[in-house]
Amino acid sequence: MRSHDLWIDGAAALSDAGNRIERCSPSTGKLLASFTLGSCGDVDTAVMAARRSFEAATWRGLPGSERAKAMNKWAELLQRNCEALSLIEADEVGKPIAASRAEIEYGIDLVRYAASLAWSIQGRILSDEGADKLGIILHEPRGVVGIITPWNYPVVCLMMKLPYALAAGCSVVVKPSEFTSGTTLEIARLASESGIPEGVFNVVTGTGAEVGEAISGHPGVDMVSFTGSSAVGKRIAQRASDTTKRVSLELGGKSANIVFADADIDEALEGTLQAFTINQGEECCAGSRLLIERSIADEFLTRLAERASKIRVGDPRDPATEMGPLIHEAHLERVLGYIEKGKAEGAKPIAGGRRLSGSAYDKGFFVPPTIFTGVTTNMSIFKEEIFGPVVSAVAFDSLDEAVDIANSTTYGLAGGVWTQNFDKALSVVRRVRTGMMYINCYLQTIAQLPFGGMKESGFGRENGVEGLMEFLEVRAAFAKLKTQF
């Protein structure tokens, strides 16, 4: 069993309260790790450390090129420890080891990309308003940033924020999920080894009710960046408003995956399956609303159900496993509750629809891919985020109808479209109100593309140049010159 303490001021630290959190495997129920149960006092200590480092300019005072060098060294250390980090991720989250490795690799790519951006932070000069006038625009780090991450993608959700904050010159206090804190703490240790100064990257483990609340309302925190549910995001925004701090929120989704009759059907089948089963469906971008053109709907769903029934669900450390367990028992009950609600409302499961049982499953929280047909757009399973391997299928007759159905949600995070007519695809992309759309693929992207939501899926952007700009304050100065030029 692993045992982890807090990480404050460049070293492991004990909590002022002395309490612990035990994390058991969602696959076997065995004890995996023990984390410090942080307190409000621990948040104070971490914020003070971050503030000291920021005011002393030990990090933000470095040239961007020097910050980039330290971050690239950090990326090298992460790469050397990729397998160890992948095993922690697989164990704590329950995701298949192949997916865990892919997550760590992508997280490392994000560090390298953010480091490259540190070289090019620049302001502007306005020099054409008269010989005695000069306008100066500055881009400076926002200050101390509170980062709150979820349990489903502990590394990627962290790395879509943290490296950009560091590239900008900010100091940070991170609160990972109490269920999946192991990789974040290891990443912090490796950051220290890479030469990132003490106090720049701090980690306080614990619950959202205590640590998350303390960070989001702390007067010493200048900005909060959060990924999680829409309900918690709204609470964080309320807390942050008391001190008028900047907030970036990446929240829930109920994304539409639209399949037209002229799509490459084999590719669309595999992409659609991935869209709702990747990470056990515990994915904010999941294509959990499947919209299929009516002329191909019956055949497509028959083939999708056949393929879904062959997905191998099991031990996350088994290389052959395609889906692991759900994160914990309470979430298992939530997902099963939605499945039963779908049946009660008249939808029909043509795959899955129950908890898996037997010697390989009884000690874990396993649900197979579940596909509902006979769905109407007013059903709970079609409207509400389930966060499990459940998809609800609806047929459509025209592009306009597909767009209307796709937009009939309070969410606006992601979506997909499958067609070999690129004009049609772009029309859908322009009309569906989401922050991210996938064309003839699903859940594939590159570091340079910004990511974030619309409507109740949040605001602010991660990744890309836009992800860096979230952590930069724009300031201006005007100079009245005595010497004209």
Report, as residue numbers or ranges, the catalytic residues. Answer: 250, 284
Phi, psi angle pair for 121, to nearest 5°: -70, 125
Please count the other Cβ atoms lying within 10 Å of the Cβ belonging to residue 244.
7
Q: How far is CA 61 from the centre of its chain?
A: 29
User: Are 174 and 184 spatial neighbours (Cβ–Cβ below 8 Å)?
Assistant: yes
In our burial notation (b when 16+ CB lie closer than 10 A, e otherwise), range 427-459 reads bbeeebebbbbbebebbebebeebbbbebbbbb
b/e map 93-103, b = 16+ CB within 10 Å: bbbbbbbbbeb
Kindly state the tokens that stand for 279: 């990470």
Structure tokens at 311: 């997905």
Within a 10 A sphere around the Cβ of 123, how many other Cβ atoms?
A: 14
Residue 14: which of 33, 53, 32, 41 has the closest Cα? Answer: 41
* C-beta of residue 464 within 8 angstroms of C-beta of residue 454: no
Q: Which residues contact 270 (CB under 8 A, 6 or more apart)?
A: 307
C-alpha neighbours within 13 Å on the C-beta side of residue 450 = 14
Residue 326: name the closest of 318, 341, 316, 312 by CA. Answer: 316
Tell the burial category of 138 from Cβ atoms under 10 Å away from its Cβ (0-12, 13-18, 19+): middle
CA gap 61, 55 in Å, rounded = 9
CA-CA distance, 472 to 47, in Å (whole number)? Answer: 19
d(Cα 62, Cα 117) in Å, to the nearest integer?
14
* Alpha carbon distances (Å) from 132 to 164, 212, 478, 485: 37, 50, 11, 7
At which residue do the structure tokens 């109490």 appear?
Answer: 178
Instruction: Round the CA-based radius of gyration of the chain to a whole number and report it.
Output: 23
